[in-house]
């Protein structure tokens, strides 16, 4: 039986690492294809999908001090890394025959459209998958914050944070087998306990505007569709 989506419009936050597949660096076309296929399945169910992509598989501006660079230009490099990932992901959408557009917070008209709130809403209404790159367009803001911002702007009903673990835990489940998973947790608890699921700015922005966050494992079978259609997947921050 076909699953019924709980939401009409979502914002999916993907880390750059989700595009690496089994590699230690860069972009794996097959990993991109698997993600695009899951998004296409959602769109076929009538869900409108916006995607914010990170760039950590290529470069992290936050590591600027280790590279003897100023933070601002380092963050600019990180923004360009998200553009590379966005183009890679769009090519995967082409393979799945799912219409998509890249919208960038930084000007690069040859490779992506400049971000426009009104145009984004029009694309979403037409069932076009939107890939948002360039973060917020400003240094010192993470792509998590960009995801929260875009979720607000496109009027998403939920922000889905894709990770490599099954949700939010009281401690790192990779290091600690006895880590406890939360099925539901409040924004306040996430911030108070400094649970490192998203940066504090992103969580606070969602809290202030009452956008729930679902944290889930993107690499489980049918993970994205299940996260949109089933309340028991991952952890819900509310």
**Considering only the top CATH level, what class is 9-237?**
alpha beta
Please state, in angstroms and as integers, the Cα–Cα distance from residue 91 to each residue in 32, 144, 182, following that order. 8, 23, 36
Check pLDDT > 60 for residue 15. Answer: yes
**pLDDT-based confidence at 67, cuts 50/70/90?**
confident
Residues in the chain: 238
Token pair recorded at residue 139: 């240094």
pLDDT > 60? residue 50: yes
Question: Around 64, how many Cα atoms within 13 Å sit in the side-chain half-sphere?
Answer: 14
Q: How confident is the model at residue 109 (pLDDT cuts 50, 70, 90)?
A: very high
State pLDDT tens for residues 162-188.
999 999 999 989 899 999 999 999 999
Q: How far apart are CA 115 and CA 136, in angstroms?
A: 10
pLDDT at residue 63 is higher than 80? no
Q: What is the pLDDT of residues 190-238, one digit of tens each?
A: 999 999 889 999 999 999 999 999 999 999 999 999 999 988 899 999 9
């Amino acid at each position: 039986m076909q699953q019924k989506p709980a939401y009409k419009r979502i914002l999916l936050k993907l880390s750059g690492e989700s595009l690496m597949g089994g590699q230690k660096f860069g972009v794996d076309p097959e990993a991109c294809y698997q993600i695009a296929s899951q998004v296409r399945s959602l769109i076929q169910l009538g869900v409108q999908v916006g995607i914010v992509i990170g760039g950590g598989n290529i470069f992290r501006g936050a590591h600027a001090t280790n590279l003897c660079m100023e933070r601002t230009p380092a963050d600019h490099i990180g923004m360009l890394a998200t553009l590379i990932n966005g183009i890679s992901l769009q090519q995967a959408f082409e393979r799945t025959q799912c219409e998509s557009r890249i919208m960038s917070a930084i000007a690069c008209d040859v490779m992506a459209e400049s971000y426009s709130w009104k145009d984004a809403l029009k694309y979403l209404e037409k069932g076009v998958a939107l890939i948002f790159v360039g973060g917020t367009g400003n240094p010192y803001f993470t792509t998590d914050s960009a995801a929260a911002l875009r979720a607000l702007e496109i009027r998403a009903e939920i922000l889905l944070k894709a990770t490599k673990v099954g949700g939010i835990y009281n401690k790192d489940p990779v290091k600690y087998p006895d880590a406890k998973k939360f099925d539901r947790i409040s924004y306040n608890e996430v911030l108070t306990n400094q649970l490192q699921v998203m940066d504090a700015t992103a969580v606070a922005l969602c809290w202030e505007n009452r956008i729930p966050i679902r944290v889930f494992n993107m690499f489980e079978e049918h993970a994205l569709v299940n996260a949109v259609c089933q309340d028991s997947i991952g952890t819900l921050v509310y």
